[in-house]
Amino acid sequence: MTEMILLVLGVLYVAVGLRAVIDPEFIGDIMADFNQSPGLTYLTGTLVAIACMPLLLYHNEWGSAKQGVASFILWAGLIKGLSFIAFPRVLFGIWDVMFPHGKIARLLGVVVLVLGAALIWWART
């Protein structure tokens, strides 16, 4: 199960990273949409929490590095999803401070792309 989680997350990260590298304004557009749409923010938070919670019920394992990384990412996803539901304005405030006007979106995309590729490689080894 650990390898499947790492592989799925890796593929998602590669896709998101590619999009950010190819079209860096896209990330800023997404955040602007989130910021102006409480319904979209709530729905996204709910879907992320629903995706992470059952996986954590069956995979909250920390016995090896792979298991720990997979569990950590799932916990981070659950916390992010619940945060989108409970206090989205705080998250948007943090985003605006850390990534003003999407200036480093392409760099962030490269980091996410490399992380995704590493997760895919690690899942397959």
Q: Per-residue pLDDT tens for 56-94?
A: 999 999 999 999 999 999 999 999 999 999 999 998 888
First-to-last C-alpha distance (Å) of the chain = 14
Whole-number pLDDT of residue 64: 95
Q: Phi and psi for 87 in degrees, rounded to 5?
A: -145, 70
